[in-house]
Structure 1
Amino acid sequence: MPTDDDRAGGAPEGRPEERLERAVRAAEQALIEFEIAVETFRVEVDNFSRLHHQRLGPMYSRLDELDALIAEAKAARSGDPEDQRRAREARELVMPMPGVDELFHGWMDSDGLSPEADAMLTDRPVRPPRKVRPSEEARRLYRELARAAHPDLAREEGERKRREEFITRVNAAYARGDEAVLRELAAEWAAGPAPQPPELTPAEELYARLEWLARRKELLTAVAGELEESAIGAMLRMAPDDPDRLLEEIAEQLLAQVAEREAELAALAAG
């Protein structure tokens, strides 16, 4: 009987489908690793986007307001129709004040006002936004669970559905960076039904499987491209190892711009 080494050296294989089966298994594992990488980056983009909005959103709004005030002051002074048009356009860019429902959307919990809303109404300092970035341990647990329970490894529809539901919970816990829940899910998976070994399939089904994997990879490649080309994705690529420092640098730049606009507005008012 030929050994694996014999086969690697070009000896005849035991079954015609054996090489194709190995190719399918390799493609499955490669796709899972790629999907893990895409999901990891998606979580990073989502978390950085949330922090970016929480930390820098008020500064952008202040800049828009100052630009509108400056344009309006210039238009009032000159009376020029072109200046008035610029003033109207600048004012349209300013975000309108939210209504009460919008203002408190997401700020209510089962006990009433959330701590953030209560702090604002009582003039206490609002706690900074919670940083949600999965730790190295959370990343390790997520990768292990994704490799073990990935739906693409299922050969039967019921098993695929079970895996999809489980991976949805894994993704949610990973997005929160919740190590404790990830450990619980790892224990749950280990105690659950063992995955059934793949049955011997005809060559036609193996080819169809390879084609499906190729299409899935194309879809994931498109998703990854959209993430990388997004504004937040581009920012993350600028500082992949220290995104917090990038936020600090952008905040410093915005504060300097706010100071410049306020000085310009003060000069217009004084003139």
Structure 2
Amino acid sequence: MSDEARDETTTGAGPEDAGTERLARAVRAAEDALIEFEIAVETYRIEVENFSRLHEQRLGPLYARIEELDAGIAEAIAARTKDPEDERRAREARAAVTPMPLVSELFHGWLDGEGFTPEGYAMLTDQSVQPPPRVRPGEEARKLYRELARRCHPDLVTDPTERERRDAFLSRVNQAYARGDEEALRELTEEWETGGDQRPEPAVPAGDELYARLEWLASRKELLADAAAALEDSAIGSMLRMAEDDPDRLLDEVADGLRRQIATKEAELARLSAAQE
């Protein structure tokens, strides 16, 4: 609720009982705290998701090249030694990099031997097909996002129809923020200002309704806390904690390390191949 609308619960049209007024103020404070917490969790979720997508985009081909080189090295060793154990290791290494036959055709290129491609996953989850340009959007994008999310958040209202409409709008806001698209966030802000807030006049809540609202807010915060903990405990969350100041730099550093591994393995494979000639 806006401050003006929510103040109606404690002014002339609202409850006169002092206890109910205090409860109404507690509800407003809990709503404000929940919105801030939700914004923080959603911001972190977007960073985790962006990091995951960029990890796959930037590092996936490097990991794939390492697997291919490992298979080639294992095969070269097996060809030289003829040892059954070396041959078994070579078969396992090759199987790990050979895509499942005909799988990609089943989903018109959305699926390969490693699972859904980034494009396929994006289309199934309503994400942008293009990966984000960076893990963490710029400061201006973060500012625009936080301000707009505070104004349009579904948890500010209780009407189911209005909540559904706000859910859809906030999804667009989240997608623009994930891309770091400042212009899109400005356009969404203008859209909201020119007709986004369409809440009906709030009814004066009774004490039991305020208690129910307070309980709902508390349960909602518990769910968010669990979601935040799961994100932090995930593999991607653990990697993000290693580079909270600049996660994109971490990706660059890991990529550099993988390229060094590739150079070493390419030299080893070339040596083994030359020895067979």
Aligning the two structures, in what range does the TM-score lie when normalised by the shorter sequence? 0.7 to 0.9
Superposed CA deviations along residues 100-157 of structure 1, whole A, max 9, x for unmatched, are: 85299859xxxxxxxxxxxxxxxxxxxxx76144221211111111111111111322
Q: 1:103 to 1:25 in 2, by over 3 A?
A: closer
Alignment of 1:35-54 (within 5 A): 35-54=38-57
Instruction: Give, in whole Å, the separation in 2 of the partners of 1:66 and 1:165.
Output: 46
Instruction: Give, in whole Å, the separation in 2 of the partners of 1:267 and 1:188.
Output: 63
2:88 corresponds to 1:85: yes
Instruction: Give, in whole Å, the separation in 1 of the partners of 2:143 and 2:178.
Output: 13
Query: In the alignment, what sits opposite 2:21?
Result: 18
Query: In the alignment, what sits opposite 1:131?
Result: 133
SS of corresponding position for 1:102: coil
**Once the 2 structures are TM-superposed, how far is the Cα of residue 227 of structure 1 from its aligned partner?**
2.0
2:155 corresponds to 1:162: no
**Once the 2 structures are TM-superposed, how far is the Cα of residue 14 of structure 1 from its aligned partner?**
5.0
SS of corresponding position for 2:158: coil
TM-score normalised by length of structure 2: 0.76
Alignment of 1:52-63 (within 5 A): 52-63=55-66
Instruction: Give, in whole Å, the separation in 2 of the partners of 1:244 and 1:71.
Output: 33
What RMSD in Å do the two structures reach over aligned CA positions?
A: 2.7
Alignment of 1:139-218 (within 5 A): 139-192=142-195, 193=197, 195-196=199-200, 198-218=202-222
Query: In the alignment, what sits opposite 1:257?
Result: 261
Superposed CA deviations along residues 151-181 of structure 1, whole A, max 9, x for unmatched, are: 1111322322232222122122222222222
* Identity among equivalent pairs (%): 63
Instruction: Give, in whole Å, the separation in 2 of the partners of 1:82 and 1:164.
Output: 57
Instruction: Give, in whole Å, the separation in 1 of the partners of 2:110 and 2:227.
Output: 33
**Once the 2 structures are TM-superposed, how far is the Cα of residue 194 of structure 1 from its aligned partner?**
5.4
Q: Is the 8 A contact 1:45 1:236 kept in 2?
A: yes
Instruction: Give, in whole Å, the separation in 2 of the partners of 1:267 and 1:181.
Output: 53
Structure 1 unaligned residues grouped into runs of 5+: 1-12, 108-128
Q: Is the 8 A contact 2:132 2:180 kept in 1?
A: no
Q: 1:103 to 1:62 in 2, by over 3 A?
A: farther
Return structure 1 stretches of 4+ with deviation > 6 angstroms. Answer: none
**Once the 2 structures are TM-superposed, how far is the Cα of residue 23 of structure 1 from its aligned partner?**
2.0
Instruction: Give, in whole Å, the separation in 1 of the partners of 2:215 and 2:32.
Output: 15
Query: In the alignment, what sits opposite 1:68?
Result: 71
Alignment of 1:87-106 (within 5 A): 87-96=90-99, 101-102=108-109
Q: Is the 8 A contact 2:75 2:87 kept in 1?
A: yes
Q: 1:260 to 1:57 in 2, by over 3 A?
A: same
Q: Is the 8 A contact 1:155 1:198 kept in 2?
A: no
Structure 2 unaligned residues grouped into runs of 5+: 1-15, 112-116, 121-130
Query: In the alignment, what sits opposite 2:273?
Result: 269
Structure 2 counterpart of 1:246, which letter? Answer: L
**Once the 2 structures are TM-superposed, how far is the Cα of residue 33 of structure 1 from its aligned partner?**
0.9
Q: Is the 8 A contact 2:50 2:132 kept in 1?
A: no
Instruction: Give, in whole Å, the separation in 1 of the partners of 2:182 and 2:233.
Output: 30
**Once the 2 structures are TM-superposed, how far is the Cα of residue 69 of structure 1 from its aligned partner?**
1.1
